[in-house]
Amino acid sequence: MRWNDLFRMSISSLSRRKLRTFLTVLGVVIGTSSIVVMVSLGLGMQRSMYSEVEKNGGASGITVTGKGQEEMPGDGAKKESRTKYITDEVVKQLAQLEHVKSAEPVLSLPAVVLKGSYEGMIEIQGMTPAGLASMNLKMEKGGKLPDPDSRELQLVFGNYVLAGFTEKGTGRGYWETGVMPDIDLGKDPLFLVLDQDGYARSGQPADMGTEKQGGDGAGNAGISSAPAQAPKKYAVPVSGVVAGGEKNQNANSENVFCDLGVLKEYLRREFRGRAIPGQPTTKSGRPYGKFVYSSAKIQADDMKNVERISDEIRGMGYNVTTNKEYIDSMKKQFEMVQAVLGGIGAVSLLVAAIGIANTMMMSVYERTKEIGVMKVIGCSLSSIRRMFLIEAAFIGLAGGITGNILSLLISGIINIFVSGGGMELGGSISFIPVWLLFLSTGFAVLTGTAAGYFPARRAMGLSPLEAIRNG
């Protein structure tokens, strides 16, 4: 029998019992959409994690930090006598490793920002232009990356940096009041104080509670040598603000970026003759000969090589953190979450499958005579089986497609109404990729066909005699 004839027959027998077909399809609709919606929640979480990771250099990013003696983990096998610093030479060395696409130094240091009645503790991250570009920062309209050739320091503000600002006097900020400080970042330059210790000593109230980065040795040396005077304030413009506004947080929301070269220039000027905070010193309190970066960002040429590179760098004596490790562990977690969610959804599809089997069984009983007649007038057994399997598969297909449409609707509704709570997830909670649509439809068809298998076999095994007996 031709396939198109089989299809026509199956559909005509389905449409003969419209209500029953509808109810059976409805079961599959509910089953499919519960699976799809459940999985889409898991996928939404996974996707927002991935996009966070992407902002941090993606899966092929590696962060290398220096190793100080005090940070040495207790592995007695390999004691480093000297601390490992990330210097220009090291960065160059790293860049020449195999499979390394780029290596960019990062210098981060704490600073104070003043504006009107507000003050804020920030952590400035100085990066090379290439390094900044590789971050793929999404900025508000008109935002630019800092100009490396500019003589003045330009900052890129995360959209949540202002939330960390507090009002002088009251000491209250966004987290207490719920109102963002009234600062127009695009317009007015801010005042940046690089010498935090100096700023604290100058009598102005600054909450140093969370500050730990300032090198103690250098700070103390500063106190003893220099008289207490207000440190220099630099007027710095903001060249760009990370996109997202007040609602959407992302990995860069709380960061402040600037150009590394300009920052270094500023630091040399500010701390002339003194140790720069955060920079290591020799035992005598003298500045270390070379400029030391807080970390180096390495981009591997491929995710597969991340492990090899990080092993190699670890062998060189540095601390290495990769996104891959993070991703791998998260992946496992998400796979479990998805399996659980999908499993819950699968239960309802199982119930729907039983419904299909039941419907098909009924249909076989009803059409016993018809099937017998068809056998007698020359319908092959495989055609009869196919006819019933197609019917069952069609129920699955109709249910799968309708279920997916329903899931898209539900997913849209979830995203609209719950997106407020999904701030940390970067927007959408429920995410339905195209493959999920196809997969779930295919799964529904498969379930239908499987459920139709035994009824179809029964139909195939019916004796054609049934047709001729009891007229």
Partner 1 sequence: MKNIICVNNLYKLYRVGDTAVRALDGVSFTVREGEFCAIVGTSGSGKSTLLNMLAGLERPTKGEVIINGHHIEKMNESELVSFRGNNVGFIFQSFHLLPALNALENVALPLSFRGEERGLRKKKAEKMLRMVSLEKQKNHMPNQMSGGQQQRVSIARALVSDPRIIFADEPTGNLDSRTSEDVMRLMQKIVSEQGRTLVMVTHDMNEAEYADRIIRVIDGKIVENKEKRRKQEI
Please pick, from the candidates 68, 370, 446, 458, the single residue that binds partner 1 as defined by CB under 8 A: 370
- Residue 468 CB, nearest approach to partner 1 (Å): 6
Instruction: Kindly tell me which of 156 and 467 has the beta carbon lying closer to partner 1.
Output: 467
Stretch that binds partner 1, among 1-9, 181-189, 252-260, 267-275 (CB under 8 A): 1-9
Taken in order 320, 322, 328, 331, the sign of the CA dihedral is positive
2 binds partner 1 (CB under 8 A): yes
Using CA atoms, how far apart are residues 24 and 28, in angstroms rounded to an integer?
7
How far apart, in Å, do the first and last CA atoms of the chain sit?
27
> Is residue 223 at the binding interface for partner 1, with CB under 8 A as the rule?
no
Question: Is residue 226 involved in binding partner 1 (CB under 8 A)?
Answer: no
3-state percent breakdown (helix, strand, coil) of the chain, nearest 5: 50, 15, 35
Total binding residues toward partner 1, as defined by CB under 8 A: 26
Quick check: 374 binds partner 1 (CB under 8 A)? yes
Q: 26, 226, 361, 379: which one contacts partner 1 (CB under 8 A)?
A: 379
| Closest CB to partner 1 among residues 4, 81 | 4
User: Which residue has tokens 């240091």?
Assistant: 109
List of residues 6+ apart from 25 with CB closer than 8 A: 395, 398, 399, 402
Helical residues (DSSP H) of 214-322, grouped into ranges = 216-225, 260-270, 306-315
Q: Which is nearer to partner 1, 22 or 417 (CB)?
A: 22
Q: Give the span between the Cα atoms of 163 and 68, in whole angstroms.
A: 33
Alpha helix positions (H), 56-99: 88-95
The residue among 20 and 331 lying less far from partner 1, judged by its C-beta, is 20
Whole-number Å distance between alpha carbons of 195 and 232: 8
C-beta of 12: minimal distance to partner 1 in Å?
6
Query: Residue 1 or residue 439: which is nearer to partner 1 going by CB?
Result: 1
Tell me if 268 contacts partner 1 by CB under 8 A.
no
The answer to whether residue 43 forms part of the interface with partner 1 (CB under 8 A) is no
Distance between CA atoms of 276 and 291, rounded to whole angstroms? Answer: 10
Q: Please identify which residue in 16, 92, 144, 314 interacts with partner 1, judged by CB under 8 A.
A: 16
Q: Which of 373, 405, 439, 450 binds partner 1 (CB under 8 A)?
A: 373
Least gap, CB of 416 to partner 1 (angstroms) = 45
Calpha distance 337→339 (Å, rounded): 5
Which of 189, 217, 427, 464 touches partner 1 by CB under 8 A? 464
Q: List the structure tokens of 33.
A: 């959409």
**Alpha helices, H only, 207-322:** 216-225, 260-270, 306-315
Q: Is 377 in the site for partner 1 (CB under 8 A)?
A: yes
Q: Which of 156, 163, 98 is nearest to 126 (CA)?
A: 156
Nearer to partner 1, 265 or 370 (CB): 370
Binding mask 381-420 for partner 1 (x = CB under 8 A): xxx-------------------------------------
Say which amino acid occupies 108.
Answer: S
**H-only helix segments in 111-173:** 129-134
Beta bridge partners of 127: 106, 259
Please tell me whether residue 436 binds partner 1 under the rule CB under 8 A. no
Closer by beta carbon to partner 1, 261 or else 464:
464
Q: Is the dihedral of CA 413, 419, 422, 425 positive or negative?
A: positive
Distance of closest approach, residue 20 Cβ to partner 1, in angstroms: 15
Tokens of 279: 């920079």
Residue 365 touches partner 1, criterion: CB under 8 A: no
Residue among 16 and 314 whose Cβ is closer to partner 1: 16
* Other beta carbons within 10 Å of 390: 23
CA angle in degrees (0–180, nearest 5) for 55-59-61: 75
471 binds partner 1 per the rule CB under 8 A = yes
| Identity of the residue numbered 427 | G
By the rule CB under 8 A, 375 interacts with partner 1? yes
How far apart are CB 16 and partner 1 at their closest, in Å? 6
Asked if residue 118 lies in contact with residue 166, where contact means CB atoms within 8 angstroms, the answer is yes
Stretch that binds partner 1, among 197-205, 340-348, 375-383, 397-405 (CB under 8 A): 375-383
Shortest Å distance, C-beta 463 to partner 1? 8
Residues that bind partner 1 (CB under 8 A): 1-2, 4-5, 12-13, 16, 369-370, 373-383, 463-465, 467-468, 471
